[in-house]
Amino acid sequence: MTNRNGFESRESNFKLAVWLFFFGLNYAFWHLTVAFLNFEIKNKLMVAELFDLVTPFVMTFLVYRLYSLLKQRIESRRSSRLPKISLILIILGIVFFIEGHGMHLSANAIIRHLEGWEGSPLFDLTYFFDEILGHLFWDGGFVIMSIALLILSFQDREVKPSRVSIWTTVGSLSYGFTYFCLAVEGQTVLFNFPVSVLMPVIILFMFGRRRLRLKHPIVLFYFLAYLLAFFLFVYWGITKGGFPQFTELGWI
């Protein structure tokens, strides 16, 4: 029975690690690819915007899939309120993400028709929804969802030493790199940078007493992702003397 339980636990860890791999790669693919698809279709409608319409569907499915896998692992603990709290936060995070994504997508399309209006109230308002509020809601939604999954992971006891951490690591590095890129280009460093500092600290506080718990796929994923983002922010800020956008440097 012990061997069977151990096998099931490792198999469950493997499945979760693989889904985290796909989550991290999709997060990078759907958020970064659009920067290289600025080809006009008609009336300044870009290929990137049609491509970006798919992003919320893919990412929402993947986040809910991760939540479902975690919930299955702790479903025997019916007395706990953590799954309900986590689900509420997941829904809240998805709402923020989709709200911010839609806000940015529409305002970004409109502002291309305001060339020559720079400095006007109409331009400033559209810019605010595009580059500030839209990105804050967008990134904030993913931060809320990461907190929700970490809360649920706190009660997961199915943690066994595993050799599949490479799946989690690749996915987490993709997520962390993209999180950094979105903050720099979306001008949300003032929000994303402090989060990249706080999240590893919170994770160590919640899970550090038992080192084995740090090997939990979800915990490892977000710990490495936010830690990588933190170092990238520090490197970028020091070498560039601030946080200039990639477009300002002519990179994209």
Distance (Å, whole) CA 17 – CA 124 = 43
Nearest partner of 29 among 50, 47, 51, judged by Cα:
51
**pLDDT for residue 3:** 44
Distance (Å, whole) CA 29 – CA 181 = 12
Q: For residues 100 and 138, is the Cβ–Cβ distance under 8 A?
A: yes
pTM over 0.75: yes
Give, as one character, the DSSP assignment of residue 217: H
Q: Which residues contact 148 (CB under 8 A, 6 or more apart)?
A: 67, 85, 86, 87, 88, 89, 90, 93
- High-pLDDT (> 70) share of the chain, %: 87
How does residue 58 score in pLDDT terms, banded at 50, 70 and 90? very high
CA angle 202, 204, 207 (to 5 degrees): 105
Count of other CB atoms within 10 angstroms of residue 73: 22
Q: For residues 236 and 179, is the Cβ–Cβ distance under 8 A?
A: no
The encoded tokens of residue 72 equal: 């299955």
**pLDDT for residue 72:** 81
Exposure b/e, 147-171, CB count within 10 A at least 16 = b: bbbbbbbbebebbeebebbebbbbb
| 237, pLDDT greater than 90 | yes
Mean pLDDT computed over 131-137: 89
Q: What pLDDT digit, counting tens, does each position of 67-125 carry?
A: 998 888 776 555 566 677 888 999 999 999 999 999 999 998 888 888 888 889 999 99
How does residue 6 score in pLDDT terms, banded at 50, 70 and 90? very low
Q: Is the dihedral of CA 134, 135, 138, 141 positive or negative?
A: negative
Distance (Å, whole) CA 194 – CA 5 = 40
Distance (Å, whole) CA 69 – CA 156 = 11
Distance (Å, whole) CA 66 – CA 151 = 13
**Residue 158: helix, strand or coil by DSSP?**
coil
Distance (Å, whole) CA 64 – CA 162 = 24
Nearest partner of 219 among 246, 200, 245, 191, judged by Cα:
200
Residue with tokens 């080192």: 211
Write phi, then psi, for 79 (nearest 5 degrees). Answer: -75, -15
